[in-house]
Amino acid sequence: MRPLPPPPLSLLGLLAALPAAATAKFTLSHPTAFTSDSTSQSQPPCGASSLVHKSSSGFYVHGDAVAVVTAGDGAGILIRATIDELGAGANWTNLFPVVAQVGGGKFCEPLVPAPVEWAGLEGVVQVIESGEEGLSYQCAPVIFRATRGGSITTYCSNGTDVTGSFATDPRLPSDGTDISTA
């Protein structure tokens, strides 16, 4: 019996890409995320980050940019924040509706507002990505500000063929409640 011919090149490329796609995660590029030595973004609230940071980013309460770089082909994205201590009892407030990002790469929401009464307070902005591999978490320490410092266009751009639209995702709460990790 003769051996089978090798698969077409396009199939080989697809098979080689599968391990990378199965572990696809995202990077929170603005505001600046906590330093993390961990590659486990699946652990809430901040992806097993050590929650170590050198400084906090300012976050304008009337609308600031939240920018991510997604490694997969798209995902549901939830942006929320808290002024509480991180932990099981943190009271998260959704800052923006769930967005369905289509296409991988750079994605930015330019005007994500926070409650105006948070101005002057320290807090944490959390971005949760709901992709094919499950939920991934990233957090950024912030100081909520009443005035803008700098230009959002510096941080905010979308990759070629990357779009976003409001959506629902059963894995992401629309009301700030805890996310089931079971």
Secondary structure of residue 89 in the 3-state scheme: coil
36 has pLDDT over 60:
no
Nearest to 70 by CA among 114, 136, 11: 136
For 127-154, what is the mean pLDDT? Answer: 85
158 touches 108 (CB < 8 A): yes
For 36-53, what is the mean pLDDT? Answer: 69
Contacts of 5 (CB under 8 A, 6+ apart): none
Domain residue ranges in the chain:
26-152
Contacts of 11 (CB under 8 A, 6+ apart): none
Q: Per residue in 163-172, pLDDT tens?
A: 888 999 989 9
**CATH fold of 26-152:** Coagulation Factor XIII; Chain A, domain 1 (2.70.50)
Secondary structure of residue 33 in the 3-state scheme: coil
Report which DSSP code applies to 118: G
Q: Per residue in 60-114, pLDDT tens?
A: 999 999 999 988 888 999 999 999 887 767 889 999 999 999 998 999 999 999 9
For 8-35, what is the mean pLDDT? Answer: 56
For 5-17, what is the mean pLDDT? Answer: 38
Task: Tell which wins on pLDDT, 51 or 125.
Answer: 125
The neighbouring-strand residues paired with 74 are: 102
Nearest to 16 by CA among 3, 26, 25, 7: 7
Output the pTM of the full model: 0.79
For 6-19, what is the mean pLDDT? Answer: 37
